[in-house]
Amino acid sequence: MTPLMTDINEYLWCRDHYDLLSPGGTWIVPRSGLVFQKSMSSEERKLILIEKINTNSSKRFKQYQNEDFLLIKEKFGLAGIEVVRE
């Protein structure tokens, strides 16, 4: 698979996953325990980080959560969806 195709698949996944969420609905990212809420506004395309589930209190896991947030922000941003911290 070419890098371009991966980018297209990621774009489509992010867009489709966002569209599946109801306004105000939540998405828990299993790998990192980040909890996002879809904006209530139909005019905004935004995911808001509302919680970090800390199943592991180590400094390394907290760093992983921050890195995962930045990755999610980047990928969803490419699909036109803003990702912010509450």
Q: What is the pLDDT along the chain (86 residues), one digit of tens a residue?
A: 445 556 889 999 999 999 999 999 999 999 999 999 999 998 899 999 999 998 778 899 999 999 999 999 999 999 999 999 98
Res 54: pLDDT: 86
Q: What is the SS3 assignment for 15?
A: helix
Calpha distance 64→66 (Å, rounded): 5
Full domain range(s) for residue 43: 3-85
- Number of folded domains that form the chain: 1
Res 60: pLDDT: 93
Res 5: pLDDT: 55
